[in-house]
Structure 1
Amino acid sequence: MTKMSRYGIDLYATLEAETGLATGWKQCGSITLARTPERMTLLQRTIAAARSFGIEAEFITPAEAQKMWPMMRIDDLVGAVWLPGDGKANPTDLTQSLAKGARNRGARIFEGVQITGTIIEHGRIVGVETDRGTVRCETFLNCAGQWARDLGKLSGVNIPLHSAEHFYLVTKEIEGVHTDLPVLRDPDGYIYYKEEVGGLVMGGFEPVAKPWGMDGIPPKFEFQLLPDNMDQFQVLLDEAVHRTPVLETTEIKLFLNGPESFTPDGNFILGEAPEVRGYFVAAGFNSAGIANAGGAGKLIAEWIVGGAAPADLLDVDIRRFAPFNSNMSWLKDRTVEALGLHYAMRWPRHELESGRPLRRSPLYDRLQAKGACFGSKLGWERVSWFALPGQTPEPQYGFGRPNWLDACIEEQLAVRKDVVIFDQTSFGKLMVQGRDAAQLLQRICANDIAVAPGNMVYTALLNARGGFESDLTVMRLEADCFLIITGSAQPYRDIGHIKRHIRENEHVTVTDVTSGYCTLTVTGRKRSSCCRA
């Protein structure tokens, strides 16, 4: 992702020379503030990773930050990070410059056209119906922003994103604000600033968001705004006045409330949809579309042309989601939390809380009674650890020794010395059946799955380049029937991969039977004696 963002910055810096149209890109640098030692630790980790990709970054003191950004108070700061290569762009100018660059290379752009349907033949999209007629295509790319989910529904494609109100204000001129003023981010206060015509743009990502568009988004809404909502904006305004006291007496020129779309996990959505071949998606950029558009465009173009993801893009791959992620009630609840992820502390092993519990094992209540602390994976509540006597089964987030470590040590010792039972009901279960099921799996699995019924094989699921798509267990139930056990996060990714390799003359069905089976694993040093008993 870092390489992707860096590509976008390089593109914006050179695009004007190619197209002759200004992008408004200005390399003014950026400052990110830390109010707490924990935030500073998180920034240190982020910068260490960035430096490994050759990105220039340095830690600075609050006083050094104030010299570069004189309007802010610093008495509550621990430190800051300075990124000299960062900057800002004018969204309107950048869009026009990108459009001209595309036209120069043969692209044609039609505005004001509404897609009313899609044409799918043999599982592949081959065209779209519009209010101006039919357009045939080899590949379709859904970049419809907050309309992407509804557009996906026309083809049965699951794109879980939801709009939320997003606020910012623009001030009149402020003394000391100049065109080279760095972008300022104060994540502990949920806010950011950038210079705008001698004044400031201030916006933010409040921790409790207000979803919008539950009843659908009007097709002609692209140049409209929402009514003011000072009650929702107040938390950001209070933090802004705290960080920049000058705002208390500065005249506000504009107050804007415009919806943006957010995804359930705070990562954007890229890749070929598992439901329809040739249907690609690039959407859900969580208010970071300008920053990521250049790099994301390059990645999705390489994906389309090359037929596979050009890098490890698991965190943003559309196949990480399940159908329930687009349930409107669940998605609305998650969006309340998801917008705040933009500036939230991303602790190690941090678990989101909204929309839970959703999918539960038949043993859920029994595990809960035993002091289980649950995590979530693809909607499933899974035991992360069991609380020791006197301990509350709740994680205490931090960068030091976790409160669950002693409990996990006890569990590991139990496996080594005794016998334990794991509830693995959340693991994906796929039934692959049909005349050519064995032939298909033999072709895409690394190990030999031509075993007698009643046997199982642990194997990698490979792509055409010999790379790993998944690791799983294949159980041969009958000559033409296989049960695949895969990771909890993998079933929809694996289903899509397997189906794409079914040839036209092959008869194979792939069915998700995950919710139909409870799975228990008995393991440990004394497992054999336990099973015999």
Structure 2
Amino acid sequence: MAKPIPTHARAVIIGGGVIGCSVAYHLAKLGWKDVVLLERKQLTSGTTWHAAGLIAQLRATANMTKLARYSQELYGELETETGVATGFKRCGSITVALTEERREELWRQASMARAFGVDVERITPGEVKARYEHLNIEGVTGGVYLEKDGQGDPANIALALAKGARQMGAQVFEQTLVTALPKQGRRVTGVDWQRGEESGHITADNVINCAGMWGREVGKMAGTSVPLHACEHFYIVTEAIEGLTQMPVLRVPDECAYYKEDAGKILLGAFEPNAKPWAMEGIPKDFEFDQLPEDFDHFEPILEAAVTRMPMLAEAGIHTFFNGPESFTPDDAYHLGLAPEMDNVWVAAGFNSIGIQSAGGAGMALAQWMDAGEKPFDLGDVDIARTQPFQSNKTYLFERSKETLGLLYADHFPFRQKATARGIRRTPFHQQLLDRGAVMGELAGWERANWFADTGQKADYEYTWKRPNWFENSAREHHAVRNTLGMYDMSSFGKVRVEGPDAEAFLNHICGNDMSVGNGKIVYTQFLNNSGGIEADVTVTRLTETSYLVVTPAATRRADQTWMERHKGNHMVVITDVTPGEGVLALMGPNSRALLQQVTDFDFTNDANPFGTMVHADIGMAQARFHRVTYVGELGWEVYMPSDMAGHVFETLYEAGQDHGLKLCGMHMMDSARIEKGYRHFGHDITCEDHVVDAGLGFAVKTKKPNDFIGKEAVLKRRETGPEFRMMQFLLTDPEPLLYHNEPILRDGKVVGYLSSGSYGHTLGAAVGLGYVPCAGESRDDIMKSTYSIEVAGEIIEAKASLAPLYDPKSERVKV
């Protein structure tokens, strides 16, 4: 008789791949006793069983690297703990470049690795050959070698995690299909299941969606959006090759290929540029350890290049041609965390072919988040709250997934834009900007003007690690904002109304700054967590006695609104996203006041409209709100108008602005101007694990306001002890190199951190970066006595460091 399934669990995990098994293992390790894992067929039978099992340390951010390294360490110990052989071995890895641009990318990654504490060695083509004798190095421009990278047996890693979870009290049930997830309000109350002819229900405190390529459908059952789509993923395994011994994992991204030696055979896999989405009509109900039909024509270009790159493949027979599905997300980052729509539904799915190397760390991070009720560290890259509901649209996922699989091995150029599934969210000014040369980028589905092409210039990106084709265009936009007048579209920024009799008390509870201000006052503030970390960076405008407008970055509107909803408690407020309802144009520069006084009936002097206040005024034949704030460090206003009047307001400002030197500007300009002023960028410079005092934003926290607020005790404590880190600004002494982010910071020749963001300072005349430097027990004078430099692609470049903004440190220009 089958083991009975419990009627209640603290956590029910749906899906028995490597991710679900890891979550079960880590929850049990934290002492959770009532953990139940339900698998529709057999453990690993979806995608885990056919994964390639490549296990790398280095990821795109410090925290993702931390998770990948944790996975490695865990897999090395699992065999001893459980007796299940994981096949994990540190054989090293080599990635080679076939172009100068790719070599630049690898060199920058190697520098980044130093900052993250990962050992990476830059190697010449000859050194590549010495470590991988079978490789034809014709055309190879360089490579990197990571000694501690490895490979493992995917299925056995998952089974070892499952056994470890069972040993600590978790229960695992195979052949058990989840049929429904009953809900009440913002909670799933339990899980309906079927096992053969038997069916039942488990009441559940928490439900975790680890359903892999079924994650979108399970998400729908739970009332949540989990945007991912399965794609066909191809590899071949050769017959045994005489004399072939253990080799490093080899990646040749310029040929879309990876190679893995296993038991004297070579596995050749591909991440081709134009992928094949699968199962548009749904995954077959009986899918279990299945493979998809061969498509040799699709794989042939990869194999043809591989035979030239690895000549021994020409003599080796093909033992297996494999085609299996794997799930991909719209941005190539997996989904982890608490689903925005529900308060007890968690997600760990959509691992984009890096599930094995990610599973250990992802399971650990999610378990800690569930146990503590707060993220253990910044997980913004993968937090499912970053997604947008429309991204679950089947047609959108079909189109985008064609591209995202191949992007894993495409050149990871800065500012690279997705080419598929575009044009979905358009601001009211979209066509007017296109007509005037706008080159669009995409963020959270929004089409946004990033820069403006000149007449006759190709209005498109030409990607490079060097100065891009739009460098001078953006420089002219930058100088217009600094010297005359620039106008750019801010409509994509989130706009959330908080209304009700408790609006002031509620916002005082979740904001560090004081919201007890007069109508029309604009307050810069952060939402803090209990550790004093920054969960959101926003401005709040008091519209009336009972209503406020919270303005958020475009990418975090949903996450910020979710934070508000979850901390509403008993406050009588209504929280509403009104982002699409208003167009917003930013007018920035010394001539902005003169233009507004020409086209409105209002006197925009400091007496009538001081910095940090909002006023209503007619403009042309329309009406608008004028918010006197800035993110570029100049005199300026953000002009808010109903979407139906947006076209008219644009024409009014644009036409009158020609007499004042008005130039249309894009988001790249905004980034270069804000970094000169030292303004922080949420998600890069400030995150949930960056203390607000360390970030230099303590001025925006009012601990003496009468209301208690989230994070107050942590702020008081840090003010008493002093900051542990200081956010500093760095200006390169060499005007040529470019900074993006993650470049190592060297203090007196020693790596102490990395840049959280970087851009070119067209007024300051060189690239500028922001980054944290450890300073526990040190004064401001102590930290400034040192010399600083930045490592860029292996080159050490001296930098001028500053704690105050290098541009207009006293903010005189914004208040003129």
TM-score range, shorter-chain basis? over 0.9
Moved more, 464-473 or 371-380: 464-473
Q: CA distance change for structure 1 residues 119 and 436 in 2, over 3 Å: closer, same or farther? A: farther
Aligned-partner Cα distance in 2 for 1:414–1:278: 49
What residue number does 2:573 align with?
508
CA distance in 2, matches of 1:236, 1:524: 52
* 1:280 matched to 2:346: yes
Gaps of 5+ in 2: 1-63, 599-816
Q: What's the counterpart of residue 129 of structure 1? A: 192
- Is 2:232 aligned against 1:165? yes
Per-residue deviation, 1:339: 0.3
Contact 1:170/1:196 (<8 A) preserved: no
Q: Distance in 1 between matches of 2:282 and 2:381?
A: 27
Does residue 27 (structure 1) correspond to residue 90 (structure 2)? The answer is yes
Deviation at 1:423, TM superposition (A): 1.3
Q: Distance in 2 between matches of 1:218 and 1:210?
A: 17
Equivalent residue runs for 1:291-370 within 5 Å: 291-370=357-436
**Structure 2: distance between partners of 1:446 and 1:126:** 34
Partner of 1:147: 214
Give matches, 1:414-453, under 5 Å: 414-453=480-519
CA distance in 1, matches of 2:145, 2:266: 19
| Correspondence for 1:61 | 124
CA–CA separation in structure 2 for the residues paired with 1:70 and 1:150: 47
Partner of 1:117: 180
* Shift in Å, 1:95: 1.6
Distance in 2, Cα, partners of 1:104 & 1:239: 47
For 2:574 and 2:216, how far apart are their aligned partners in 1? Answer: 27
> 2:106 matched to which residue of 1?
43
**Displacement, 1:299?**
0.9
Question: Which letter does structure 2 place at the counterpart of 1:373?
Answer: V
Question: After superposition, what is the alpha-carbon deviation per residue over 1:252-304, rounded to whole angstroms, capped at 9, x for unaligned?
Answer: 11111100000111111111111001211111110111111111111111111
1:518 to 583, 586, 605: 583
Which of 293, 311, 315 does residue 245 from structure 1 map onto?
311
Instruction: Give the letter aligned to residue 338 of structure 1.
Output: T
1:518 Cα offset (Å)? 0.9
Deviates more, 1:127-136 or 1:429-438: 429-438
Deviation string 1:364-391 (CA, Å, 9 cap, x unpaired) is 1111121111111111111111123442
SS in 1 for 2:171: coil
Of 132, 135, 156 in structure 2, the residue corresponding to residue 72 of structure 1 is: 135
Q: Quick one: which of 174, 178, 199 aligns to 2:265?
A: 199
Report the Cα distance in structure 1 between the residues aligned to 2:524 and 2:131, rounded to whole angstroms. Answer: 58
Letter in 1 for 2:242: E
Q: Which has the larger radius of gyration?
A: 2
Give the residue type in structure 2 aligned to 1:513.
Answer: V
Q: Which moved more, 1:199-208 or 1:443-452?
A: 443-452
Distance 1:478 1:106 in 2: 55
Partner of 1:456: 522
SS at match of 1:212: coil
Q: Is the 8 A contact 1:70 1:176 kept in 2?
A: no
1:98-125 deviations in Å (ceiling 9; x for gaps): 1111111111111111111213334123
Determine the C-alpha separation between the residues in 1 that align with 2:290 and 2:574. Answer: 46
- Corresponding residue for residue 527 of structure 1: 592
CA distance 1:474–1:109, change in 2 (3 Å): same
1:7 is matched with which residue: 46, 57, 70? 70
One-letter amino acid of the structure 1 residue matched with residue 577 of structure 2: D
Query: How much is the aligned-residue C-alpha RMSD, in angstroms?
Result: 1.5
Q: Distance in 2 between matches of 1:345 and 1:127?
A: 44
Aligned to 1:398, the other structure's residue is in SS state: coil
Identify unmatched segments of 5+ residues in structure 1.
Answer: none
CA deviations 1:340-374 (Å, max 9, x no partner) are 11111110111111111121122111111211111
Say if 2:162 is the partner of 1:96: no
Q: CA deviation at 1:481?
A: 2.2
Paired amino acid for 1:11:
L
Offset at residue 463 of structure 1 (A): 2.3
* Distance (Å, rounded) in 2 between the aligned partners of 1:409 and 1:74: 40
CA distance in 2, matches of 1:53, 1:472: 29
What TM-score does the superposition give when structure 2 sets the normalisation length? 0.64
Q: How many residues in Structure 1 have an aligned counterpart in Structure 2?
A: 531
- Tell me the residue number matched to 1:259: 325
Paired letter, 2:145 = W
Residue matched to 1:105: 168
Q: Match of 2:335?
A: 269
- Partners in 2 of 1:342 and 1:401 — Cα distance? 24
- The equivalent of 1:185 in structure 2 is 251
Q: Distance in 1 between matches of 2:116 and 2:288?
A: 36
- In the TM superposition, 1:468-479 aligns within 5 A as 468-479=534-545
Distance 1:168 1:484, change over 3 A: same
**In 2, Cα distance between equivalents of 1:95 and 1:315:** 24
Q: Relative to structure 2, which stretch is displaced further, 162-171 or 52-61?
A: 52-61
With the length of structure 1 as denominator, give the TM-score of the two structures: 0.97
SS at match of 2:425: coil
Contact 1:271–1:281 under 8 Å retained in 2: yes
Provide the secondary structure at the position in 2 that maps to 1:298.
Answer: helix
- What CA distance in whole angstroms lies between the structure 2 residues aligned with 1:265 and 1:343? 14
Partner of 1:174: 241
User: In structure 2, what is the Cα distance between the partners aligned to 1:45 and 1:126?
Assistant: 48
Tell which deviates more after alignment, 49-58 or 22-31. 49-58
Match of 1:208 among 259, 267, 274: 274
